[in-house]
Structure formats: C-alpha cells, structure tokens
Amino acid sequence: MLSFNLVNLFSGFSFFGFILLIPLFANELGMSLTQIGLTLAVFSVGVILFSPLWGHLSDRYGHRRLFLVFGNLLFFISSLLYVYVHTVEGLVVLRFLQGIGFATNPMLTALFSDHFGDQAGRRFGAFSAANAVGAGLGSLLSGILADALGIRWVFAIVSFVILLSIGAIYWGLPEEIVPGPAEGTHENHRVPGKLFYLYGTIFVRHSAAVALWSIFPLYLRSFVGSLSLVGAINGVNMLIQPLFMLALGKYAERWDKLQMVLIGVAGSVVTFLVYALAPSVWQIVVGQIMIAASWSVMFIGMNLYMIEEVPQGSRGKAFGYLQSSFTSASSVGPLIGGTLSDAYGIQGMILSASGLMLMSLPFLLKLQAMERRAHAKPSC
C-alpha cells in the first residue's frame, strides 16, 4: 500500500507542479491567453490519443507496471527538457510528449484495483488522498521555489520527483498479470456500455473546470503579487482534499456512488459562482475549500463505481477511457478558458463555466435512471 501511495503522491506533485508553472512560463514567453490555452490543450491531445491504447495493451498483455515505467520515463525526459526551452514551438512539442507519457497513468489505478481486489474500495480513500497531498505540495512548493530560483530550475526539480516515481514503480509495485483473451471470457474484457454516460458527465464537468484552472494562476495574480502566494492559494484545494478523501474512504462503500458524483457536480457549480463573485482573496480561499470537498466526493464516487462495475480484465481500458475523458476535457477547457477570458474577462469566463457544468447533469441522470431500472428488474 505504501508504494502505491508514494507513486500516486509523486504523480500528483509532478502533474500539478506543471499545471501551476506552464501558464506562468508561457506568459513569460509572451503568449496570449488563447495561445496559453492551445499550449495546454496539446498535452491533452497526447493523453487522449494514447490512454485507450496503453489501457487496451495492458489488458491484453498484462504487465501494467512495465507500462507505468515506460510512460513515466518519457514524462521525465520531456519534463527535464523544459529547462532548455526558449520558443513557443519547443514548449508545444514537449507538452505533447508529456501527454503521451502521462497517458499510462490510469494503469496505476487499474493495478491498484487488480492487486487489492475486494479491499480496493476501502483502501481507495487513502490512495486518492496521497495524490491530493502530492498535488498540493507540488503547487505550493513550485510557487515558492519559482520565486526563489526561477521557473526553469523548478522544472528540473519536478523532473527529479518523476525520477523518484519511476524508482517507486519499478522496485515497489507488484507485477500483476491480468488474464489475456485466451484465458478469460469475452465478457471479462468488455467495458460496460453504461460507463460512457459517466464519461460524458466527467467530460462536460471537467471541461468547465479546466476552463478556469488553465487561467487560475493568472486570476490569482490579480489578487496577490508573489508566485509563492499564488502557489499557496492554488495548493489549498489539493492540500485540503486528503482530509475529505480519508473521511470518505471510511464510509463511501455504504453510499450510492452515483449520488456522490451528483453532489460533487452540484457543489462545483456553486463553488464557481463563489470564485467569480469573490471580492477578495479570502473568498477565493473559501472557494478552494469548497471545491476540495466537491471534487473529493465526486472523485471517490466515480472511481468506486467503476471498480464495482468493471471486470478485472477490462479495467485498464475502462480507466484509460476515464483518463481520456479527463484529458479530452483538458484539451477543450483551456480553449474555452483562454478564448472567453480574452473576450469577456476572467470573471465572465468563470460564470460561463459554471453554466457549462450544469450541462453534465443529463448524462449522469440518465445513468442513474438506467441503474434504477436495472435494480428494479426481478431476478430470475
């Protein structure tokens, strides 16, 4: 369990370190908000194209740990090369390569659920909390170090954390080999069709969220001056999440998982209104606590729902599709955020994003209706 948590912590640290720094670095290169959005979207294109592929191959051949090592190695190399980037074109190429490497990340959740089996649900809270701790530390420390050393040096430091992750994967994680098609049944390797309503929910909600997150460091700079404070406020969300996730992990197995997702979406809509109407930085901090709670409920709910509903032999593919839903949203979101911010200002963009989040509800409500009908059918 410790090795899984360490890898997830390192993953959160590196991913959110770059999430904080890339918009600021791109701004230093003289890019507009729309161009920053396009640059962030390139990462997502790499993940979208390769997550289902890596997931399918890991389901077919097993060896999920090997895929994780390969992906993190590519992520490490492309991240380290940021130190030498001085052009927009170079930034775009490296973001795409990072996306290809990060596309193996769903294998970690698949390997976790394979390894722990029936115990995965009750252990998932701590597993998720580790990622949130890493994300919070990555955001907080990246801002502090960027103020002290400059952004390029922080790219090198974050790359070293990825190297630590590779070591933890190779020497710490178990090598689970899932049954191939010849050993398992066809049914065991099929992703349930109803999950695509969940993927639709995630895509729409996360597109709206990323519209803000892609510009959020710049929005924070309108309230505070230093990168350290930007990193600290940005990190509040992730640093608070572990408290919620650990608490939820103890009780979530008893709750309706899709209802948890619904609560998370509704809470996100309300929180975005708080962000948009915030008169001072303290309201932003309150919003960060609110979004931490909303995201934690939603994240635990959707992952436990998938662990319960997806056969072991198709979990790599199923979680790959989930990652693609997130990253498809991460490619659309920056375009929405950058374009609307240039046109209407950041506050106008946030208000629009809160409305967009509501459009995720039809997918979720349809899935809930399908589940109610399925449970209402008499057993034969």
Confidence of residue 30 (pLDDT cuts 50, 70, 90): confident
Write the pLDDT tens digit of every residue in 287-339.
999 999 999 999 999 988 988 888 877 777 788 788 778 877 877 887 788 88
The span from the CA of 111 to the CA of 177, in Å, is: 9
CB within 8 Å of 372: residues ≥ 6 apart: none
Average pLDDT over residues 36-60: 79
Q: Within a domain: residue 380?
A: no
Q: Within a domain: residue 323?
A: yes
Q: Within a domain: residue 175?
A: yes
Which pair of tokens denotes residue 153?
């040096």
Per the structure, the count of domains in the chain is 1
| pTM of this structure | 0.72
Contact 316/64 with Cβ under 8 angstroms?
yes
pLDDT score recorded for residue 185: 46
Which pair of tokens denotes residue 353?
């994003």
Q: Within a domain: residue 258?
A: yes
Average pLDDT over residues 214-235: 82
Which pair of tokens denotes residue 16?
């959110």
The domain that holds 145 is classified in CATH as: 1.20.1250.20
Q: Within a domain: residue 160?
A: yes
Q: Distances from the Cα of 86 to the Cαs of 143, 183, 218, 336, in angstroms?
A: 20, 51, 21, 26
pLDDT score recorded for residue 376: 77
Q: Is residue 165 packed enough to be buried (19+ CB in 10 Å), middle (13-18) or exposed (0-12)?
A: buried
Write the pLDDT tens digit of every residue in 131-160.
888 887 887 888 889 888 889 999 999 999
The span from the CA of 10 to the CA of 138, in Å, is: 9
Which pair of tokens denotes residue 68?
């994780």
Which residue range forms the structural domain that includes residue 43? Answer: 2-374
Query: Is a pLDDT exceeding 80 seen at residue 191?
Result: no
pLDDT score recorded for residue 177: 54
Q: Within a domain: residue 311?
A: yes
Contact 50/106 with Cβ under 8 angstroms?
no
Q: Within a domain: residue 20?
A: yes
Q: Within a domain: residue 379?
A: no
